[in-house]
Amino acid sequence: MENRVHAMKSENYHQGVAMEGVKFVPEAANTNRRVLRDIKNIIGGPHQHLAVTKRGLSEKYVAAVDPIKDQNSFGGHRPVTRKFAATLSNQPTSAHLAPIGSERQKRNAETAFHTRADMESSQSTKMSDDIPFQMLSEMDEVMTSELKEIEMEDIEEAAPDIDSCDAGNSLAVVDYVDEIYSFYRRTEGSSCVAPNYMSSQTDINEKMRGILIDWLIEVHYKLELLEETLFLTVNIIDRFLARENVVRKKLQLVGVTAMLLACKYEEVSVPVVEDLILICDRAYTRADILEMERMIVNILKFNMSVPTPYCFMRRFLKAANSDKKLELMSFFMIELSLVEYEMLKFCPSMLAAAAIYTAQCTLNGFKSWNKCCEMHTKYSEEQLMDCSRIMVVLHQRAALGKLTGVHRKYSTFRYGCAAKSEAATFLLEAC
């Protein structure tokens, strides 16, 4: 080794290569210690596999260490020292010679006598083993992210954007519409009343409530008020009656005053008090109406901003991609529900979704509740079935009895004669 060091030194100087920073140990005649332990010390830098040329490697070592013709080498072999030659001479010449070196060389020795197909597969395995673990992790992350993107694309395809048509409409508040309806969902319980609140009343009952609301629907139609006004009127009446005991002779006064408050909240042009007095056939005075107005707003703590079924109707009709015919049929169903006391057990969003589902079944003659409707309403077809069946029964008897105000209203051409459609009785047969 000492001779080789001096040979390399003279060769480097002969080629004009300056070996700065390389220290050479002076020759010692009476020592067997190696001057250099690693080839890296000679070149003074990181190890490079092209820096050393292998010489004199025996065929035995080639068979043991590099059985596949040393494909990864570049024509050189490891130099054989005395110690290494003695080690090789003590080992058997069998093909099952224990490989020396790295784990990769051991794997190559074990597959030395396999078939060519096995060798090719081992080479492919060796290539995959050469890939760093960090690179494999990055590849897994990329594949996982791509799969997530594909799944998100599938979800977006299943739920189309129903607000794209209103992107340029500032009144549609497309940027905030999801947050608005999330808020409606959280607060709709505040607008509901106990479904048995009439048990606390001593002088009125649910039939009287139905007569009052049926009459108010006709008043609403004659005054040509907004749909929002009707739903808020009924909500104010129920919330007030659930908290305050009212005598029978003042029930109509509560109704017209609730409509006055709803008009002040929703309408641009509000009916004057004198008109409401005439509608009541002068049963009440102006002072009576103003006094009842003060009482209602105090009992309700001036809370008029509640989500009614109308709030959800507009959103759910949009999700159902409705036309005018479906819209009128849906409002016919839900106004029938306003009159009925038993429908108070359903929350506003449930009433709106069930009205649209029942209207679809009535017009189409079969069940039709797609994924888009289910996503935006948050109700499945099974969840709507109980409420929808009650609406079918209400539709069947809408023209019967004394409370026919809704049927007469939706039998006109202005409302598309929706009341004259055949009820979806097949929903009742599915019970």
Concatenate the DSSP letters of all residues of 173-218 into one string: -TTTHHHHHHHHHHHGGGG---TTGGGG-SS--HHHHHHHHHHHHH
Domain residue limits at 363: 309-429
Q: Tell me, yes or no, whether 294 and 375 share the same domain.
A: no
- Whichever domain contains 418, its CATH number is 1.10.472.10
Q: Tell me, yes or no, whether 18 and 105 share the same domain.
A: yes
Does the residue 214 lie in any domain?
yes
Which of 70, 88, 121 finishes a domain? 121
User: Can you tell me which residue has the tokens 């056939």?
Assistant: 281
Three-class secondary structure of residue 291 per DSSP: helix
Per-residue confidence in pLDDT tens, the chain, 431 aa: 445 444 454 444 444 444 444 444 444 444 454 544 444 444 444 444 444 444 444 444 444 444 444 444 444 445 555 555 566 556 555 444 444 444 555 455 454 444 454 555 555 554 444 545 455 555 666 566 655 555 554 444 445 678 888 888 888 888 899 899 999 999 999 889 999 999 999 999 999 999 999 999 999 999 999 999 999 999 999 999 999 999 999 999 999 999 999 999 999 999 999 999 999 999 999 999 999 999 999 999 999 999 999 999 999 999 999 999 999 999 999 999 999 999 999 999 999 999 999 999 999 988 888 889 999 999 999 999 999 999 999 999 999 989 999 999 999 999 999 999 999 999 998 65
Does the residue 135 lie in any domain?
no
Domain count, the chain: 3
Q: Tell me, yes or no, whether 241 and 339 share the same domain.
A: no
Which of 299, 334, 367 finishes a domain? 299
Model pTM? Answer: 0.64
Does the residue 304 lie in any domain?
no
Does the residue 45 lie in any domain?
yes
CA distances, 77 to each of 39, 62, 122 (Å):
14, 9, 23
